[in-house]
Amino acid sequence: MKITILFILILLIISTSFSQNGWVQQQSGITQPLTTVFFTTDNQGWAVGHSGRILYTSNGGSNWITQAVVSTAALRTVHFVNSSTGFTAGSSNNFYKTTNGGIKWDTLTNGSLYNWVQLYFCTDIVGYAIGYGSSFNGRYILKTINGGNSWSNSLFVDSSNIGFSCLFFRDQNTGWVGGSLLLKTTNGGINWFTQPTGSGDSWATVFFASQNTGWLASGTSSIVKTTNGGNTWFPQNSGTNRSLNSSFFVNDNTGWITGNNGTILNTTNGGSNWNTQVSGVNAVLTSVYFASVNTGYIVGDSGKIFKTTNGGISIGIIQISSEIPEKFSLSQNYPNPFNPQTKIKFDVPANVKGQTSNVKLVIYDLLGREVTTLVNEELKPGTYEADWDGSNFSSGVYFYKIISGDFVETKKMVLMK
C-alpha cells in the first residue's frame, strides 16, 4: 500500500513539474513513440503509435489506458467521426475500425495499400486515405463509400518523385492531398488538379480552417497560407528552423503547429506572427489536436503526451515594465534562499532585426540536468518577471540560465526547505 501511494505521488510530481507552462505533460504509461492523437470531446480521445498500440482516455488525459494492441506494426493515423466510430491504420495492409468507441476493433484489409500514411473520414461511411503500395511502389489516394469495407483508387501515381504525406477534407467533395506537390479535388476525388504553392518544399501537414483559408507546413520549417482555397499561396515567417510535422486550427486566426526538438508554434492572427510555446522537452512532436478552442493535446516520441486548457499560453511570467532596456540582463532571484517560491527578473532590449526576441529561461539542478523551462517564446522589449515554484523539488542549489541569440547568462539560487 505504501509503495502504491509513493508511486502515485511520484507521478503527480512529474506531471505538475510542467504546471508553470501552458502545456502540461501527461502520463501515457508507455515509452514507444506516439504518432497521432484525436479527440471527439474535451475528455474522450485516442492516441496511436508503434507496436500497434491504441491508447484511450475518457477523462481528459488524467488516465490513459492501453485500449488495444491490434498488431506488431506501427500505427500512423487515427480518425473518429463521433464517439463511437473510428478508424486507424499504419505499416501493414490492415485497417482497423471500431463502432463502439474502441471496446472492439475489427480488422479489415485493403490489398493495394500496404503502408497507410493518413486517414480522413468525412462521415461514418465516406472516407479517404493516402499511402504506398508494397515496398513503397506506387502512391495511392483511396476512397471508401461504405465505411472502409472496400476502397477504390481515386488517383494512382506511379512515380518515385511524388510522395503523399498529408490530406485534409472540408466536406465529402472538397479536399487536398499534400507532399512534394499539392493536389485538390472538388468532386469527391473523381478529378484532382495541382495547385502551385510557389515553393519546392515537401509538405508534411495541411489544414483548412474554412473553405478558403488554409496552411501548409514542411519538414524544412516553411509555412505558406492561402485565403482563396489554395489557388494562390504566400509564405509566412515560422521563426524556427525546426522540421514541422502537424497542424491544427480552431478558426481562421488561431492555430498551432508542432515539430521536432519540442517545437510548438502558435498564432492568433492567422499566421502573421508565429510565437513559440513551451513544451519543456527536446523531442519530436508528431501530432496536435484541439477538442475545443482552448483544450488541446500533443503526442510525440517516447510516449509523450501534453495537454493545455488555456491554448498553450505560458503562465508564471508577466511584463512589469514596457520601458525599453538598453541591453539584456538577468537579475538575482528574490528571495534567495527561498522556500518554495521565487521570482526571476530579466530585461529584453529592442531587437534591431524585429520587434520581438526569442527568450529562453531554463532551470537546472546542481548536476546540470534541465529541471524545467520557464520561458521559451518571442517577447517584446521590456522588463519581465517569472515565478518558479520549487514545492515539488528537493532542497539544494539550482541554476537558472537566460538565452537569447548570442546572449547567455547564468545565476545560482538556493532552495531551502
Q: Please tell me the predicted confidence (pLDDT) of residue 58.
A: 97
Q: Does residue 301 sit in the same domain as residue 331?
A: no
Residue 356 has pLDDT above 50, yes or no: yes
How far apart are the C-alpha atoms of 86 and 147, rounded to whole Å?
Answer: 10
* Residues 312, 244, 210, 269, CA torsion sign: positive
- Is 255:246 a contact under the CB 8 Å cutoff? no
Domain end among 283, 308, 333? 308
Q: Does residue 221 sit in the same domain as residue 321?
A: no
Query: 13 lies in a domain?
Result: no
Q: Please tell me the predicted confidence (pLDDT) of residue 200.
A: 87
Give the residue with greater pLDDT, 287 vs 150.
287
HSE of 129, CA atoms in CB hemisphere, 13 A: 34
The four Cα atoms 214, 216, 221, 222 give a dihedral, to 10 degrees, of -80
Q: Does residue 356 sit in the same domain as residue 294?
A: no
Residue 351 pLDDT level (bands cut at 50, 70, 90): confident
Nearest to 373 by CA among 101, 3, 21, 11: 21
Nearest to 123 by CA among 175, 167, 172: 172
120 strand-pairing partners: 128
Q: Does residue 177 sit in the same domain as residue 322?
A: no
Give the residue with greater pLDDT, 379 vs 83.
83
Query: 15 lies in a domain?
Result: no
Query: 286 lies in a domain?
Result: yes
CA angle 211, 215, 218 (to 5 degrees): 150
How far apart are the C-alpha atoms of 253 and 311, rounded to whole Å?
Answer: 13
Instruction: Report pTM.
Output: 0.75
How far apart are the C-alpha atoms of 219 and 197, rounded to whole Å?
Answer: 15
Q: Does residue 169 sit in the same domain as residue 93?
A: yes
Q: Please tell me the predicted confidence (pLDDT) of residue 115.
A: 87
Q: How many domains does the chain have?
A: 2
Instruction: Please write the tens of the pLDDT for every residue from 184-215.
Output: 999 999 999 999 999 889 999 999 999 999 99
Instruction: Please write the tens of the pLDDT for every residue from 299-343.
Output: 999 999 999 988 887 667 888 887 889 999 999 999 999 988 889
Instruction: Please write the tens of the pLDDT for every residue from 269-305.
Output: 999 988 888 787 889 999 999 999 989 999 999 999 9
Domain that holds residue 405: 317-415
Segment 55-62 long-range contacts (CB within 8 Å, at least 24 positions apart):
55/28, 55/29, 55/30, 56/102, 60/295, 60/307, 61/26, 61/297, 61/305, 61/307, 62/26
Q: Does residue 367 sit in the same domain as residue 255?
A: no
The four Cα atoms 7, 8, 9, 12 give a dihedral, to 10 degrees, of 130
Q: Does residue 206 sit in the same domain as residue 285?
A: yes
Q: Does residue 260 sit in the same domain as residue 345?
A: no
Q: Is there a cis peptide before residue 325, judged by omega within 30 degrees of 0?
A: no
How far apart are the C-alpha atoms of 380 and 356, rounded to whole Å?
Answer: 4
Query: 83 lies in a domain?
Result: yes
Paired sense of beta strands 65-69 and 75-80, if any: unpaired
- Is 168:176 a contact under the CB 8 Å cutoff? yes
Distance of CA 273 to the CA centre of its chain: 18
Query: 12 lies in a domain?
Result: no
CATH number at residue 342: 2.60.40.1930
Instruction: Please write the tens of the pLDDT for every residue from 12-62.
Output: 333 333 334 588 889 999 999 999 999 999 999 999 999 999 999 999 999
Q: Does residue 39 sit in the same domain as residue 122?
A: yes
Domain end among 262, 291, 308? 308
Query: 107 lies in a domain?
Result: yes
The 8-class DSSP code of residue 60 comes to: T
Residue 285 φ then ψ, to 5°: -100, 110
Query: 2 lies in a domain?
Result: no
Distance of CA 125 to the CA centre of its chain: 28
Q: Does residue 209 sit in the same domain as residue 331?
A: no
189, with CB counted inside 10 A (0-12, 13-18, 19+), is: buried
Q: Does residue 132 sit in the same domain as residue 245?
A: yes
Query: 207 lies in a domain?
Result: yes
Q: Does residue 302 sit in the same domain as residue 335?
A: no
Instruction: Please write the tens of the pLDDT for every residue from 392-405.
Output: 688 999 999 999 98
- For residue 244 the three cell numbers come to 514541422
Domain end among 308, 327, 342? 308
Residue 184 φ then ψ, to 5°: -135, 145
Chain length of the chain: 417
CATH number at residue 57: 2.130.10.10
- For residue 245 the three cell numbers come to 510535422
